[in-house]
Amino acid sequence: MIQVSIPGFRQVVSDDERPYTVYQINVKVSGRIHSVDKRYREFHALHKQVKKKFDTPDFPPKKVRQLSSRGMEHRRVTLEAYLQGLLDKDSIPKSLLTFLRVKNFRAVSYDHQPVMVFESDPFLNATPPEGGIPDILADGVRQGLYDDPESSSSAS
C-alpha cells in the first residue's frame, strides 16, 4: 500500500534567478517514508501521461496568483487529492510509481492473502528433543483437551 501527502511547498530560485514553487511529497511504502520534491509542471506532465490510459481525478488548473499564499495552499491540497485519487485506482500507473520514486512495488490484493499452513499440528505431534525432559504441561493440556474422559475413568 502506498500513502502520499503533500505537507508543504516552498519557493526556489532557478539558475536564471526566476522563482518557482516546489511541493514536498511524503511517500509511505511498506512503513518506510521518503520525500520527493516536484514542481507543478512535473505534476502536469504526469497528468498528461496518466490520462491517456486511466480515468483521472480532477487536476488543478495552472493559473494561480503566484503571490497568493491562499492560492498556493489550495493548489497544494488539490494536488494531494489528485495523487491520492490516482492511488485509489485498482491498478496504479507505472508512471505514477516513477514520479513518486517508488521501486519494486508489488500491489497485493487484500482479498487474496497467503495463508500459513501446517501439514500436521505441531502441538499435537510435539515430541521432546533427544534425551530431553518431556513437557508435562503440554502433555497435560493435550490430555485434558483431546483424551476421551470415559476411557481414562475406566482405567482407574
Condensed to tens digits (0 to 9), the pLDDT of residues 3-47 reads 999 999 999 998 998 988 999 999 998 888 999 999 999 999 999
What are the residue ranges spanned by the domains of the chain?
A: 2-99
| Residues 130, 121: Cα–Cα separation, whole Å | 20
Task: Flag whether pLDDT at 117 surpasses 80.
Answer: no
Q: How many other CB atoms are there within 10 angstroms of residue 87's CB atom?
A: 17
Q: Is 88 helix (H, G, I), strand (E, B) or coil?
A: coil
Please state which architecture CATH assigns to domain 2-99.
2-Layer Sandwich (3.30)
What pLDDT score does 47 carry?
A: 95
Task: Flag whether pLDDT at 64 surpasses 60.
Answer: yes
What pLDDT score does 40 carry?
A: 94
What pLDDT score does 98 carry?
A: 93
